[in-house]
Amino acid sequence: MKFGVIIFPGSNCDHDAYWTAHQVAKQPATFLWHESADLQNCDAIIVPGGFAFGDYLRTGAIAKFSPVMESVRKFADRGGLVLGICNGFQILCESGLLPGALMRNIGLKYVCKPVHVRVENNETPFTQNCQKGEVLTIPIGHMEGNYFCDDATLTDLKRDNGIVFRYANAVGEITADANPNGSLENIAGICSPGRNVLGMMPHPERAAEPELGGMDGFKIFESLVGAMAEK
């Protein structure tokens, strides 16, 4: 059960994701260079946070052309597990692996703080160790986390149970005050119709050990390991 963590110029959460997969989840892991199309027989791919290619043009707009992303698209089409975190979520949307787009935060400021997210769908490989309605505390750190899609796409997401996380308050209420970036309907994470691709703005790797202040994010990695073991 091997994790692959992609490195783009500007990635800055790649080592955090690698550490969590390898040292905390105790799974084999390797780095994948953006210029290589070889996924090295990995069972799950993590597209980490950071500022791929300096976020020039817009977040993820250049990274989507990297050779590794063509391999990731083919991998996902075959049912491979792909997790995009923060900038990785943005790249997955730009690459067409997930619908919608991530826009500037409504306050036009970078936001970095712990937030509460409610689990809307626990029937995915990424959330099977969670309870539906469970509230997780996981940090965010982004300037463009304001998720948007058109009405037809939102209808599809709801029909397919594709909304996986929503920003909430500590008791799980979906409120405007709990929304840190203006995201449509408080959406913090979505999955593909096949549920094998997940994009989320919060950083689970930053909440995966007690030393980091909490372990709620580790449930994402635990779920992935369990899903890979079941394959």
Q: What are the boundaries of each domain within the chain?
A: 3-230
Q: How many residues does the chain have?
A: 231
Coil, strand or helix at 139: strand
What average pLDDT does this structure show over 203-219?
Answer: 97
What's the confidence (pLDDT) of residue 156? 98
- Which one is catalytic: 34, 116, 142, 203? 203
Contacts of residue 205, defined as CB under 8 A and 6 or more positions apart, other chains included, come to 13, 16, 17, 19, 20, 48, 85, 217, 221
Average pLDDT over residues 191-210: 98
Output the six-digit token pair for 120: 């809307």
Amino acid at 21: A
pLDDT in tens, 139-177: 999 999 999 999 999 999 999 999 999 999 999 999 999
Tell me the residue type at 120.
E
Q: What is the pTM of this model?
A: 0.96
What's the pLDDT score for residue 66? 96
Mean pLDDT of 91-105: 97
Active site residue 22: no
Q: How confident is the model at residue 41, as a pLDDT? A: 97
Q: pLDDT tens digits, residue range 10-52?
A: 999 999 999 999 999 999 999 999 999 999 999 999 999 999 9
The 10 Å Cβ neighbour count of residue 132 is 11
pLDDT the model gives residue 56 = 84
- Tens of pLDDT, residue by residue over 47-89, are 999 999 988 888 899 999 999 999 999 999 999 999 999 999 9
214-225: pLDDT as tens digits: 999 999 999 999
pLDDT at 58: 84
86 annotated active-site: yes
Rounded-to-integer distance, Cα 131 and Cα 110, Å = 30
**How does strand 44-47 pair with strand 3-7?**
parallel
DSSP code string of 1-65: --EEEEE-TTB-SHHHHHHIIIIIS---EEEEETT----TT-SEEEE--B-GGGG-SSTTTTGGG
Question: Class for domain 3-230, per CATH?
Answer: alpha beta
Query: What pLDDT was estimated at residue 57?
Result: 81
Q: How far apart are CA 98 and CA 73, in angstroms?
A: 11
Whether the pLDDT of residue 202 is over 80: the answer is yes
- Residues with Cβ within 8 Å of 30's Cβ and at least 6 positions away in sequence, in order, are 2, 3, 4, 5, 40, 42
Residues forming beta bridges with residue 137, ordered by sequence position = 116
The catalytic residue among 94, 120, 144, 205 is 205
Element (H, E) at 151: helix 151-159
What is the model's pLDDT at position 33? 97
pLDDT of 231 strictly over 90: no
The catalytic residue among 13, 86, 130, 191 is 86
pLDDT at 209 exceeding the cut of 90: yes
Of 205, 223, 202, 226, the residue nearest 214 (C-alpha): 205
